Amino acid sequence: MMTFFQFEADFVESLRCIPMQIRYKLDTCGVKLKLTHWHHLSQGDRQTLLELPCESPAEVDHYRQALQQMITQATGQPAGELPCDPAPPWLDAHSMPDSVQTKAVECQVAIALPQWADLTPLQRFALIKLSRSGHENRNFVPALQEFGVL
């Protein structure tokens, strides 16, 4: 999965921030990677993390191990780990999370459930992340436009 979104264009070439596809993999494998950890990784390590698959249980385990090894080598200690949700909301095409609905109302836009269902899991993941309080969510509406919702 090598998908970058247009709303990430200002940083994906340099990979100075953690792109959504990496954040998706982090949530999938249960690693809490801080931006400071990311900055300690080499460009090669960042590229490897982009390219490594993280879908099947074996791939998820391998991804977690490879990531933790990279972080430990770069910082001297592993990143924190979080429990993995066996049924994450971005995989549920039939139910839109409240945070997404609330953010849409706040932005004076409407997202119909069929539109939500038509999104890819990575697109739904991005909207969930961009709708959470405490997150810089200026990209919520640009993401909706990019995904063809608006």
pLDDT on residue 2: 59
- Which pTM does this prediction carry? 0.90
Q: Nearest Cα to 26, choosing from 10, 41, 7?
A: 41
Read off the DSSP letter of residue 92.
Answer: -
pLDDT on residue 61: 97
128 near 89, Cβ under 8 Å? yes
Angle at alpha carbon of residue 136, lines to 95 and 133, rounded to 5°: 50
Residues in the chain predicted with pLDDT less than 70, given as ranges, are 1-2, 12-14, 134-137
pLDDT tens-digit map of 22-42: 999 999 999 999 999 999 999
